[in-house]
Amino acid sequence: MKLDLKKLKLREVNEKLQILDRKQNDRDFTIVNPEGNHALCAGLTEEMNINIKGHVGYYCAGMNQKAQITIDGNVGTGVAENMMSGRVHVKGNASQSAGATAHGGLLIIDGDASSRCGISMKGIDIIVKGSVGHMSGFMSQSGNMVVCGDAGEALGDSLYETNIYIRGKVKSLGADCVEKKMDKNHIKKLNLLLKEANIKNYKAESFKRYGSARKLYNFKIDNVSSY
pLDDT digits (tens, 9 = 90+) for 3-14: 999 999 999 999
Interatomic CA distance for residues 91 and 98, integer angstroms: 13
How high is the pLDDT of residue 219? 63
pLDDT digits (tens, 9 = 90+) for 159-214: 999 999 999 999 999 999 999 999 999 999 999 999 999 999 999 999 999 999 98
Bridge-partner residues for 145, per DSSP? 126, 164
The CATH number for 149's domain is: 2.160.20.60
In a domain, 226, yes or no: no
pTM: 0.94
pLDDT at 82 > cutoff 60: yes
In a domain, 12, yes or no: no
Mean pLDDT of the region 85-111 = 98
Average pLDDT, the chain: 95
pLDDT digits (tens, 9 = 90+) for 7-65: 999 999 999 999 988 888 889 999 999 999 999 999 999 999 999 999 999 999 999 99
How high is the pLDDT of residue 180? 97
How high is the pLDDT of residue 47? 96
In a domain, 15, yes or no: no
pLDDT at 138 > cutoff 90: yes
Interatomic CA distance for residues 9 and 31, integer angstroms: 12
In a domain, 76, yes or no: yes
pLDDT at 227 > cutoff 60: no
pLDDT at 73 > cutoff 90: yes
How high is the pLDDT of residue 216? 74
pLDDT at 220 > cutoff 80: no
- Number of domains observed in the structure of the chain: 1
**Virtual torsion, Cα 129, 197, 139, 93, nearest 10 deg:** 40
Buried b (16+ CB within 10 A) or exposed e, 136-146: bbbbbeebbbb
How high is the pLDDT of residue 36? 96
Interatomic CA distance for residues 61 and 108, integer angstroms: 13
In a domain, 110, yes or no: yes
In a domain, 189, yes or no: yes
How high is the pLDDT of residue 24? 84
Work out the angle at residue 6's Cα, subtended by the Cα atoms of residues 4 and 11, and round it to the nearest 5 degrees.
Answer: 75
Interatomic CA distance for residues 88 and 165, integer angstroms: 20
In a domain, 119, yes or no: yes
Interatomic CA distance for residues 8 and 61, integer angstroms: 18
In a domain, 107, yes or no: yes
How high is the pLDDT of residue 223? 64
Residue type, position 178, single letter: V
Cα–Cα nearest to 213, from 184, 189, 177, 188: 177
Measure Cα distances from 134 to 79, 95, 145, 153, 185 in Å: 17, 12, 14, 4, 28
Mean pLDDT of the region 68-82 = 98
What domain range includes position 113? 35-200+207-214
